[in-house]
Structure 1
Amino acid sequence: MGMNYYKITLIFIFLLAGSSISLCQVEGESKVTSIKLIKPSGTEESGERNVRDTAPPRIKIISPQLDSTSTAHLSASSIYLMGRITDDSGIQSFSINDAIITPDENGFFQHSYSLAEGLNVFKIDLSDNLANSSTNFIYLINDAANPTIATGDEFDYKGDFYGLIIGIDNYIDPDIVDLDHPITDATLLYSTLVGNYMFEPENITLLKDPTRADVIRNLDILSYKLTPNDNLLIFYAGHGYWDEEKETGYWFPSDAEQFSSVNWIRNSTIQDFVDDINTRHTLLISDACFAGSIFKTRGAFQDASIAVNKLYSLSSRKAMTSGTFLEEVPDRSVFIEYFLKRLLDNEKKYISSGELYNSFREAVLNNSPNIPQYGVIQDTGDEGGEFIFIKR
């Protein structure tokens, strides 16, 4: 019998601490080619031991703001319940008061509910793909019978609050690095504005990974739709670029190409739209590299002590940016973190954009290498007023 034709298959099975190890040898070879650990549950793992996820999904309520007992006091006939759920293994089911809720791809959800006077209880059931589950309760106390008495600082305003919220994580051009956080930041801002301030969902557009055409189209729609009594907030989070030779800044939409500027959006284009959209107040917030290039000159800080009525009565065209025109900013933004925190923590009925900026500027300076900016967008019709955030 010729030795060259021997085919040997050896399989050794050992029971070690409740697990089995299989050493599999390929026919005609004399070395082990694979080692697999088979856990008692029947699942296999190769290499390092995996730790089973035993935690239920996590939920964070963005609006309304709850105290440590999961309670909020309100004076409203209806609310937008907004939040985010996360889980390492994925969400299997999610319901509020036994009604199925479908979150978006990043785990955010929002739903409108009518409130009765007094106590309103919301039961939230969550389970993940590994059958870990939890039930949570939140308590909303509607004090509609005792509404807040207006103070001398109240003012009558006309018009609506609009928003164009842009977040770009993914770029078509493989030469442009994708980002992880802009869409999450944009969604958090959207939820904060709708849930806590006088922005109605139908008046805010949230663009996720838009192309240049998407951005321009939505700005164009706003230029025809808004009136001189309306207020507009534009937010951009994504890549930015400063061309030193041309002294021009750009936003990068999702279809931007590294070696062609055909789909880049010039700062001057944004400035033209800010000028053309005939609002009472327009506030541009840019969280991108070289975002400060939107300013033609360094903007002077507004005195936050000026009466809200005065600030609102004068038109404004201002911008708030995460850095100067020379600075790059990280993917995980300290600027937007503190901006959102101040919006959520704010207890004032009215807060101007200048006062809001001054409330977190130092925190950004102390916790990042960037220098946030706030000032006038030159040559767009600013008269010295301020965008006013009005709480629900």
Structure 2
Amino acid sequence: MRDNCGLNRRPTAIGGGKTLLALISAALLGACAGPQQDSAGLPPDSEDMIAGLYIVDCLLPGQIRKLGAMTYQTPRRPVKTTAADCNIRGGEYVAYDRANYKTALKVWLPSAEAGDPKAQVSVGEIFENGLGTEPNYEMAAFWYAKAAEQGDKTAQFNLGTLYEQGKGVEQNKLKALNLYREAWGLPEDSLMYQATAQKEQEALRASLESQLKSKDAQLKLLESQLQSLRSKLKAAKARGASPELATAADELNTLSELVTTLKNDRVAVAEQLSAIPKLRTPVAKLRTPEAGVKQRTPGVFEAASSDGVEVVRGESLSFEGTNFGRYYALVIGNRNYSALEDLETPFNDAREIGAVLENKYGFTVQLLLDADRLTVMRALNELHEVLTEDDNLLIYYAGHGSLIDIGDRNAGYWLPVNADAPPNDSRWVPNEFITNHLGRMQARRVLVIADSCYGGLLSSSPGHLFFGNAAGAEGSSEYIRYKLPRRSRLLLSSGGDKPVIDGGGGGHSVFARELITILENNSQVMSAPALYANIRQPVMARAEANNFVQEPVYKSIKGAGHEVGDFFFVPKSSQ
């Protein structure tokens, strides 16, 4: 057993078979062309090709349009796309490694100021992420609010996370909850919203009542001290002790000011407490629908990969009349490293998880074993060409992870098999690359499961308020009806922003062992929050049995277009 953050060894060949998602156009590959293999038979880690796969803020030229006899050109259009695609389309962008918030703002700010909500969200994300400087949460909140007022779901969610954390705005969990509700499109009188709102109101009420009790105790103590000082001052006056009088008078003034301040604080807390509305709607338990017979509708995959191997689209899954769409999985297991310590379990983890997803849940799976940087980056990029709006994507990564301290926050990385040892990060895959591609993908629902050290750094979002969790709502018809149409970009990390162990699970990592068990034993529609709720304690217990502290973390991924949606696992048949 060892943690997933080690050092030192030799390269091995890439495994995993033909590329499932090899639909990237010949033009795109041609724009970054280089030698296709080195002497060992491995694809080259071409810096030119990799640079072309990064997402950039691209300013496309205006379109030439004709209106009757008049020809005119539209304004230039900002878009997030790959550097290679931007080149092909005649766009303008700043090279990725020289980009900062000023150059990014130059692309998006004109459209944002003109009222485009998507551009306003991009400007907000630029300020929130910092891009080479410290984050400006106040400006991020300002631009998110503008887009939220126009009903933009991503803006409502992003602004909600700022209110939940108190970044750039005064912390207000009820305000955050209401913004999440709006992003979800949930009515205010919904039982799910009422249940969570009541829970938050009760927590806030308990906190304020505790503050009142504490302030009352402090006031009582200070009043006692004031009375003692007044007696001391009176005695000093009677004795005519001038120095003693002056000291006692100063103490009395200071203490009086403290009492006044504390009384004002108490009034403010009491006003907050009295302003909390009482919910009169009765909160009922939401029933989980009974397992039914699932209908499977075959889908059609109309394209083939660039190497001539036909790629088959998955089938669209339906359950009790609800169409969940097609399911895809990119499963990566990195075990044998060239410059880092080899791991033991990623191959077992990736193969078995891929098999469960394919056989029980109908996923079309692409398995990558011992993938180098170019292979990982190309696989993520090619997903854009395969996935459609109603599709679901799960990305699973098992391997080394690392982080770099960049001031007030840390940046996380996945380490491909050709990664150099820290601190040389030139061959690492940054979280920012992953997040940017998640935002570009068409798929409505995306879940990333990262079983690596510091995997939780893929998201800076809080573990935000989830409606109805306490009431067991995740499998209910109402929950599915509201969640399914919303975009989701979610992260389940095996250990948050801390190291995790490689073994301890009988040939698997402690996290992968529990994940496989839960997925194999599930017989109903299961949401991502339900998966997290089922896996958290077992992983912690299994890690503790291996003398290690490890706690899974579940978050949304900001900056990737999350709209308070969810991810659902739909078994092919009920047990």
Tell me the TM-score normalised to structure 2 length.
Answer: 0.40
Amino acid at match of 2:349: D
Partner of 1:313, secondary structure, is coil
1:150–1:337: structure 2 CA closer, same or farther, 3 Å change rule? closer
Matched, 1:275 2:439: yes
Matched, 1:352 2:523: no
| 1:209 and 1:253 in contact (8 A); partners too | yes
Amino acid at match of 1:163: A
1:153–1:224: structure 2 CA closer, same or farther, 3 Å change rule? closer
Partner of 2:325, secondary structure, is coil
Matched, 1:337 2:500: no
Matched, 1:233 2:394: yes
State the match for 2:427 in structure 1. 263
Q: 1:315 aligns with which of 470, 487, 496?
A: 487
1:352–1:148: structure 2 CA closer, same or farther, 3 Å change rule? closer
| 2:293 and 2:320 in contact (8 A); partners too | no
What's the CA shift for 1:153?
7.0
Cα distance in 2, alignment partners of residues 180 and 187 from structure 1: 13
Matched, 1:242 2:408: no
| 1:342 and 1:360 in contact (8 A); partners too | yes
Cα distance in 1, alignment partners of residues 530 and 328 from structure 2: 20
Matched, 1:298 2:470: no
1:172–1:351: structure 2 CA closer, same or farther, 3 Å change rule? same
1:301–1:359: structure 2 CA closer, same or farther, 3 Å change rule? farther
Task: Provide runs of 4+ in structure 1 moved above 6 Å.
Answer: 150-153
What's the CA shift for 1:148?
5.7
Cα distance in 2, alignment partners of residues 281 and 148 from structure 1: 23
Cα distance in 2, alignment partners of residues 339 and 301 from structure 1: 23
1:38-77 correspondence runs (5 A): none
Cα distance in 1, alignment partners of residues 293 and 460 from structure 2: 43
Cα distance in 2, alignment partners of residues 377 and 337 from structure 1: 25
Cα distance in 2, alignment partners of residues 276 and 214 from structure 1: 19
Tell me the TM-score normalised to structure 1 length.
Answer: 0.58
The percent of aligned pairs where both chains have the same amino acid is 31
| 1:233 and 1:283 in contact (8 A); partners too | yes
Matched, 1:166 2:332: yes
Amino acid at match of 2:501: P
Matched, 1:365 2:531: no
State the match for 1:387 in structure 2. 567
1:362–1:229: structure 2 CA closer, same or farther, 3 Å change rule? same
What's the CA shift for 1:244?
2.3
Partner of 2:421, secondary structure, is coil
Cα distance in 2, alignment partners of residues 319 and 150 from structure 1: 27
Q: Could you list the per-position Cα deviations for residues 15-72 of structure 1 after superposition, in whole angstroms to 9, with x for gaps in the alignment?
A: xxxxxxxxxxxxxxxxxxxxxxxxxxxxxxxxxxxxxxxxxxxxxxxxxxxxxxxxxx
Segments of 5+ residues of structure 2 without an aligned counterpart are: 1-14, 17-290, 296-317, 504-508, 544-548
1:165-184 correspondence runs (5 A): 165-173=331-339, 176-184=340-348
Cα distance in 1, alignment partners of residues 519 and 499 from structure 2: 24
Which structure carries more helix by proportion? 2
1:320–1:158: structure 2 CA closer, same or farther, 3 Å change rule? closer
What's the CA shift for 1:232?
0.4
Q: Could you list the per-position Cα deviations for residues 231-286 of structure 1 after superposition, in whole angstroms to 9, with x for gaps in the alignment?
A: 10001000000112462111100110115211100011111111111111000000
Q: Could you list the per-position Cα deviations for residues 130-175 of structure 1 after superposition, in whole angstroms to 9, with x for gaps in the alignment?
A: xxxxxxxxxxxxxxxxx965799724326311110000000112xx
Cα distance in 2, alignment partners of residues 323 and 195 from structure 1: 27
Cα distance in 2, alignment partners of residues 150 and 167 from structure 1: 31
Segments of 5+ residues of structure 1 without an aligned counterpart are: 1-104, 107-146
Cα distance in 2, alignment partners of residues 253 and 278 from structure 1: 25
Which structure carries more strand by proportion? 1
Cα distance in 1, alignment partners of residues 293 and 365 from structure 2: 29
| 1:167 and 1:207 in contact (8 A); partners too | yes
| 1:159 and 1:227 in contact (8 A); partners too | no
The number of residues matched between the two structures is 241
| 2:324 and 2:484 in contact (8 A); partners too | no
Q: Could you list the per-position Cα deviations for residues 210-243 of structure 1 after superposition, in whole angstroms to 9, with x for gaps in the alignment?
A: 0000011111110121111111000100000011
What's the CA shift for 1:314?
1.6
Cα distance in 2, alignment partners of residues 149 and 261 from structure 1: 50
What's the CA shift for 1:382?
1.1
| 2:396 and 2:448 in contact (8 A); partners too | yes
